[in-house]
Structure 1
């Protein structure tokens, strides 16, 4: 069993197509197909079902895929361990972030990181929490930025602080004239939230349930930008993170801080403690912590549009 065969196998599994996989790993398709057949001959079972327009993992392939990913991640760790003998911070770093953090934190963070560590190549992945944590555990991501998640032997979270949540209301709504808002002020409103696959949606649901509020959910969306446009149109209200208000203009909306106790979400740095942690990963952790700890997110003047 060869390392390149495992790389090809994972690429085909990810792409669901031999041609796209070949392009991804930069090899001719006939060569890739031949190596997959050799791998299947060695394991003694087909790893893919070849369908007319795609390929999908067989039961054996589904069993084999996680081990293949772990082997490739371990090889990458071994290379990084050797690279660490050098003084310079170099190499590749795969960074993940959830969708309610990525567009507001990564641009500034990546810009500064590239300035401070120009010899590190960053690979960025944006996904929902379940996808991010799975990728960290499998070794596909070296580090990640997320909010709520469960720790495991292969997933460690380190708090980077807490961020207040804000009410987002239409500019024409009477609530928009208030300096502060309470959750009870929103109980008769229709809510526009992210789909439940997003941890922010789960956090808001738990927040409402803790206050025994069961408002009408008028929309479950996939992006905060879409939610903001719907709020501006007067369709309902939402609860959003402060970083969205700070970094994204939302015409037609007014963001209001909550009266104490202020609802918050935790911001976490994720990594796999079973894997080798490179100098680049440690540097990214430091820069993320510095950026988020320096984010002044407490004053009403800053958050009211």
Structure 2
């Protein structure tokens, strides 16, 4: 007996749809093609599987007995394919990771290096962009995972899973002689916004937080400058061109030239998170594991 998986697939489709026409639409071949394959299967089994005499296609006793086994066979074949796919997906292939522009987080780079050493056959590409663009590209599958900024306590973006790897408070970064630096004890957002600001561009997680807080307090800040890289924000603030509103960790390399003034009424921390689709490929799942471990070690 020579029985093909496609014959079983068509048999299950007709049984579940109770119609050769709807089954043909489901498996995307002609109705005559489905009928011919079912007839061939019935000849091989030596029994009719369907009663075709009524308006609705019904299973015969032989068909009912065969249906459970047909479903089990198809499920087993799918499991074999999935298992092989997981193995080959961890040996070779491509993996696209996104990260926010200007990212200099050492744990992320450590995770990428460890992953590459463990899976040298996987071609790894990294793309920089704004958080909102990275989220959309991950949602559509153009990226397998991305490190993005989220607005404070915002939930995972629709259609994606997320893991927070860094929490950081927002500060106003100013040179030592700036009026905000001489206050001590921090400043309210309204007081910070009395000065021109330099911020990340709209669409980034940090900028979304600033915009939301300002909107809630009916503050209209003067955004004098925008820059995508944290070092550029710091450099502009050092020169007194504007007050840089940024995550405190972003000024770590500029402590000698900048003072971090706590914005006391911006209490929700900024977060960096890994995002990915729930149906990620096996290689993406392994890379996410490396990233989680690297950031956990860092903290």
Please give the secondary structure, in 1, of the residue aligned with 2:267.
coil
Q: Does the alignment pair 1:132 with 2:134?
A: yes
In structure 2, relative to structure 1, the CA distance for the partners of 1:217 and 1:276 (3 Å cut) is closer
Match of 1:165 in 2: 170
Give the root-mean-square deviation of aligned CA atoms.
3.3
Contact 1:142 1:271 in 2 (8 A): yes
Q: Distance in 2 between matches of 1:294 and 1:182?
A: 33
Match of 2:203 in 1: 197
Contact 2:195 2:242 in 1 (8 A): yes
Please give the secondary structure, in 1, of the residue aligned with 2:135.
helix
Whose radius of gyration is greater, 1 or 2?
A: 2
Aligned pairs (5 A) from 1:144-163: 144-148=146-150, 151-153=157-159, 155-160=160-165, 162-163=167-168
Measured against aligned partners, the alpha-carbon deviations of 1:106-132 in whole angstroms (never above 9, x if no partner) come to 334323444555554321011112321
Aligned pairs (5 A) from 1:1-305: 82-85=84-87, 91-99=93-101, 102-105=103-106, 106-115=108-117, 117-148=119-150, 151-153=157-159, 155-160=160-165, 162-177=167-182, 180-184=185-189, 185-246=191-252, 248-249=253-254, 252-259=257-264, 262-273=267-278, 275-278=279-282, 280-296=283-299
Please give the secondary structure, in 1, of the residue aligned with 2:221.
coil
Q: Distance in 1 between matches of 2:295 and 2:214?
A: 26
Measured against aligned partners, the alpha-carbon deviations of 1:14-57 in whole angstroms (never above 9, x if no partner) come to xxxxxxxxxxxxxxxxxxxxxxxxxxxxxxxxxxxxxxxxxxxx
Q: Distance in 1 between matches of 2:261 and 2:130?
A: 26
Contact 1:80 1:91 in 2 (8 A): no
Measured against aligned partners, the alpha-carbon deviations of 1:130-166 in whole angstroms (never above 9, x if no partner) come to 321232122221111112387334x333433532222
TM-score by length of structure 1 reads 0.58
Please give the secondary structure, in 2, of the residue aligned with 1:188.
coil
Q: Distance in 2 between matches of 1:197 and 1:112?
A: 31
- Could you list the runs of 5+ residues in structure 2 that have no partner in the other structure? 1-80
In structure 2, relative to structure 1, the CA distance for the partners of 1:256 and 1:286 (3 Å cut) is farther
Deviation larger for 117-126 or 198-207: 117-126
Match of 2:13 in 1: none
In structure 2, relative to structure 1, the CA distance for the partners of 1:202 and 1:276 (3 Å cut) is closer
Contact 2:149 2:204 in 1 (8 A): no
In structure 2, relative to structure 1, the CA distance for the partners of 1:261 and 1:132 (3 Å cut) is closer
Deviation larger for 85-94 or 230-239: 85-94
Q: Distance in 2 between matches of 1:147 and 1:98?
A: 7
Measured against aligned partners, the alpha-carbon deviations of 1:167-207 in whole angstroms (never above 9, x if no partner) come to 21123214335654122441422111122132321211112
* 1:288 CA displacement: 2.1
**Aligned length, in residue pairs:** 214
Q: Distance in 2 between matches of 1:87 and 1:221?
A: 38
- Could you list the runs of 5+ residues in structure 1 that have no partner in the other structure? 1-78, 297-305
TM-score by length of structure 2 reads 0.59
